[in-house]
A and B are shown apart, each in its own frame.
Chain A
Amino acid sequence: MTTLARSPLQSGRPEVRAVESGYDVERVRADFPILHQQAHGHPLVYLDNAATSQKPRAVIDALVRYYECYNANIHRGVHYLSERATAEYEASRRSVQAFLNAARSAEIVFVRGTTEAINLVAQTYGRVHVGADDEVLITAMEHHSNIVPWQLLCEEKRAKLRVAPINDAGELILDEFERLLGPRTRIVAVSHVSNALGTVNPIATIVKMAHARNIPVLVDGAQAVPRMPVDVQQLDCDFYTFSGHKAYGPTGIGVLYGKLSLLEAMPPYQGGGEMISSVSFEKTVYNKVPHKFEAGTPDISGPIGLRAAIDYLKRLGMENIARYEHELLTYATEKVSAIPGIRLIGTAKEKAGVLSFVMDGVHPHDIGTILDQEGIAIRTGHHCAQPVMTRFHLDATARASFGLYNTKKEIDVLVRGLEKVREVFA
Chain B
Amino acid sequence: MAELRDLYQELILEHSRAPRNYRELTDADHKAEGYNPLCGDRFTVFLHMDGESIRDVTFQGSGCAISKASASMMTQALKGKTRAEAEKIFERFHKLVTGQTVNGNQAELGKLAVFSGVSEFPTRVKCATLAWHTLQAALEGKQDAVSTE
Residues of A within 8 A of B (CB): 40-41, 361-366, 369-370, 373, 380-382, 386, 389, 395-396, 424-425
Contact = CB atoms under 8 A, between A and B. Distances in A.
A364 B39 contact: yes
Contact of A363 (B2, B4, B38, B63): B63
Given A373-B2, A424-B8, A366 B40 contact: no
Interface residues of B, number: 22
Contacts of B41: 365, 395
A383 to B, nearest CB: 10
Nearest to B124: A369
B25 interface: no
B146 to A, nearest CB: 17
Nearest to B4: A373
Contacts of A396: 39-40
B145 interface: no
Given A366-B64, A366-B65, A381 B13 contact: no
Given A369-B121, A425-B13, A395 B1 contact: no
B39 A381 contact: yes
Contacts of B8: 366, 370, 424-425
B48 interface: no
Nearest to B13: A425
Most buried by B among A362, A366, A381, A395: A366
Contacts of B7: 369
A382 B121 contact: no
B4 A381 contact: no
A361 B65 CA distance: 9
A366 B38 contact: no
B17 interface: yes
8 contacts: A40-B2, A41-B1, A363-B65, A366-B65, A369-B121, A370-B4, A396-B40, A424-B13
A40 B121 CA distance: 12
A119 B2 CA distance: 42
Contact of B1 (A40, A382, A389, A424): A40
B71 interface: no
A365 B40 CA distance: 9
Interface in B23-78: 38-42, 62-66, 68
B39 A363 contact: yes
B103 interface: no
Contact of B64 (A363, A386, A424): A363
A381 B65 CA distance: 14
Contact of A389 (B40, B63, B127): B40
B19 to A, nearest CB: 13
B16 to A, nearest CB: 8
A41 B41 CA distance: 29
B141 to A, nearest CB: 27
A148 to B, nearest CB: 14
A370 B7 CA distance: 10
Nearest to A41: B1
7 tightest Cβ-Cβ pairs between the two chains A and B: A395-B40, A363-B64, A365-B64, A365-B39, A396-B40, A366-B65, A366-B64
A41 B2 CA distance: 10
Nearest to B7: A369
A395 B121 contact: no
Nearest to A367: B64
B63 A424 contact: no
